[in-house]
Amino acid sequence: MRDIIDFSKVSKEEFNEIYNIAVDIMENKEKYQKACDGKVLASLFFEPSTRTNLSFTTAMYRLGGQVMGFSDSGSSSASKGESLKDTITVISKYADIIVMRNPQEGSALCATQYSEVPIINAGDGGHLHPTQTLTDLVTIKKYRGSLDNMTVGICGDLKYGRTVHSLIKSLAKYENIKFILVSPHELKLPEYIIDYMDSHNLNYEFETDLDNKINEFDILYMTRIQRERFDDIAQYERLKNVYILDEHKMSHAKENMLVLHPLPRVDEITDGVDLDPRAKYFEQAECGMYARMALILTLLENNKRKKPETISFANTDKKCINPKCITQTEKYLKPIFEDICGYCDKNLKK
Ligand code: NCD
């Protein structure tokens, strides 16, 4: 792989290699202090982020590299109307590797087509968030030893939570995984992820009450209700406190269950839970920095020999109907679908 756009495309072997490097970095930090000497990472955040942005920046500094970029689209030429294609074409001549977060779905895949250097998708709208998934898998493997044979409860905003979509697609490769998907009806998983689970014969069930199944979980992945992605703010107000994990609920969970959360947390986990040894979300954030260091090293190395994935463009003038798809604004993009948009995964048959 040259780019990281969708973590489900990363094989188990590739993940294991990145994991081993991450663990080696955790244990031998000094060895890596100059590993990226002379390299520049461009950090392009068209949408706000604290953790992901800072963890990439810190990761590159800890490898001895330099970082340049912007942390909101107002300070980039996008605010002057520049296309993503032109921004990426130019920046890929300045930098050795690009990390990009952009609110439009499919924007990272678009960027790979115009970049001379690896692109890391740091979140494309509500679509995917592969480096959070890398972080999640590294954390589970570190604290549990294996990614097979587990019941994974995922709770909260399954509709807009891009970390959830990436996580489900990526865990699909592992053996004997059962998903219990806890959300109110309004925040159920998008159709394309349900289709993905069906086509990969995954074992899953839907649940609306967190108490009902908490005793079955090996992993509980809590998520924030994503206020910024609601069109109807009254609906957000109604749903925002629908799940709150507290010490009482934790008392019904398995003794070795792990609680993960991509952070930021709002009210969905009480502060009291932080003291429970099963709460691993802060360790998860730390693992994320080491995982990103390992990823940067791997992609810089791969870039010497790998090309971006070739995309087969469709011979059609059909347009994607998802208003958040990158093809809506970047008109030069050729469609890449038959029934599913190759950029944002929207199923165009439904
Ligand atoms: C997540 C994100 O940005 O999607 N956060 C993160 O990656 N640290 C989750 C969220 O914002 O709720």
How high is the pLDDT of residue 305?
62
Q: Which of 276, 142, 292 is nearest to 222 (CA)?
A: 276
Helix (H, G, I), strand (E, B) or coil at 310: coil
Ligand 1: atom nearest CA of 122 is 7
* 347 compared with 119, residue with greater pLDDT: 119
Cα dihedral sign, 59-61-67-70 = positive
pLDDT bracket for residue 338 (50, 70, 90): confident
Is 90 exceeded by the pLDDT of residue 72?
A: no
Q: Retrieve residue 170's tokens.
A: 């990526």
Ligand 1 binding pocket mutation candidate from 4, 46, 49, 223 (most atoms within 8 A of CB) = 49
pLDDT digits (tens, 9 = 90+) for 230-288: 889 999 999 998 999 999 999 999 999 999 999 999 999 999 999 999 999 999 999 99
Give the residue from 152, 149, 140, 128 showing the smallest Cα distance to 9.
Answer: 128
For residue 118, the one-letter residue type is: P
Q: Catalytic residue numbers?
A: 51-52, 80, 101, 129
| Maximal C-alpha separation, the chain | 57
- Provide the pLDDT for residue 153: 98
Per-residue pLDDT averaged across 90-96, rounded?
Answer: 96
**Four-residue CA torsion sign, 285, 286, 290, 296:** positive
The answer, yes or no, to whether residue 318 has pLDDT greater than 90, is: no
Cβ of 224 closer than 6 Å to ligand 1, yes or no, is yes
Whether the pLDDT of residue 216 is over 80: the answer is yes
| Residue, of 338 and 86, whose pLDDT is higher | 86
Give the closest residue to 98 by CA, choosing from 29, 40, 150: 40
